[in-house]
């Protein structure tokens, strides 16, 4: 029974940790393409990119190079490589929010299309489990349980983050509703005041004309 539970935990961990996959996309020369990833504060982030050689077994053409920059939503630069065929980056996010990886292919005549493989991992998925296994001298089952524990911790942190965002949105909704109610009352008083002034003006007009 214990072995079955451990096996089930390992399968769940493997499923949860297999959600990070490589992305392949095309980029024409002279154009830029950006990919955005939401990264939590103090989360480990690892990225790898490479240009696919259109002629396998042959040297990479000179036209197949790109410039890569990774920045935070505040504009802080975390990685920059110019005119490279491949590269990688790793950092611990000092800011929470959207991080942007932008790929730019220099202009080329005639225009060429680059195929780029990009793998971006954050949080638990970015952890080097091979080193964990070497340092801890653990067996396969223990390693899977470590992965599962870190995955559950990451999910818990994500839920806490979402709960905090939900509370912020609720506070914003309450503030907005309060302001809308105040504005509605103010609009009602203004309309009643304008109506009263119109009645007073009509009454004065009719009295001058001796109609009433």
**C-alpha span between 164 and 59 (Å, rounded):** 52
Q: Is 201 helix (H, G, I), strand (E, B) or coil?
A: helix
Whole-number pLDDT of residue 7: 41
pTM for this prediction: 0.57
Q: Is the backbone peptide bond immediately before 165 cis, with ω within 30 degrees of 0?
A: no
Indicate the range of 14-18, 84-88, 119-123 predicted with least confidence.
Answer: 14-18
**C-alpha span between 94 and 42 (Å, rounded):** 6
pLDDT tens track for 23-44: 899 999 999 999 999 888 888 8
At 20, the pLDDT band (50, 70, 90 cuts) reads low
**C-alpha span between 7 and 1 (Å, rounded):** 10
Distance (Å) of CA 60 to CA 66, 77, 108, 109, 114: 12, 28, 15, 17, 11
φ, ψ (nearest 5 deg) of residue 54: -70, -20
pLDDT tens track for 29-85: 999 999 999 888 888 888 999 999 988 888 888 889 999 999 998 889 999 999 999
Beta carbons of 122 and 78 less than 8 angstroms apart:
no
Beta carbons of 101 and 68 less than 8 angstroms apart:
yes
At residue 205, does pLDDT exceed 60?
yes
pLDDT tens track for 91-110: 888 888 899 999 999 998 88
């Amino acid at each position: 029974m214990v072995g079955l539970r451990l096996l089930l935990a390992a399968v769940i961990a493997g499923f949860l940790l297999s959600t990070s996959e490589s992305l392949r996309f095309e980029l024409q020369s002279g154009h830029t393409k950006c990919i955005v990833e939401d990264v939590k504060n103090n989360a480990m982030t690892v990225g790898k990119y490479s240009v696919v050689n259109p002629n396998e077994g042959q040297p990479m053409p000179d036209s197949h190079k790109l410039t890569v920059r990774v920045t935070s939503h505040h504009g802080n630069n975390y990685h920059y490589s110019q005119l490279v065929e491949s590269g990688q980056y790793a950092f611990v996010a000092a800011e929470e929010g959207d991080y942007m990886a932008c790929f730019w292919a220099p202009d080329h005549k005639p225009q060429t299309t680059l195929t780029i493989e990009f793998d971006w991992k954050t949080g638990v998925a970015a952890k080097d489990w091979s080193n964990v296994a070497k340092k801890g001298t653990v067996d396969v089952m223990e390693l899977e349980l470590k992965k599962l524990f870190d995955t559950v911790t990451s999910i818990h942190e994500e839920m806490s983050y979402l709960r905090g965002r939900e509370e912020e949105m609720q506070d914003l909704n309450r503030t907005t509703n309060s302001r809308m109610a105040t504005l509605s009352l103010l609009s009602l008083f203004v309309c009643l005041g304008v109506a009263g002034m119109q009645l007073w003006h009509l009454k004065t007009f009719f009295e001058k004309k001796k109609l009433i």
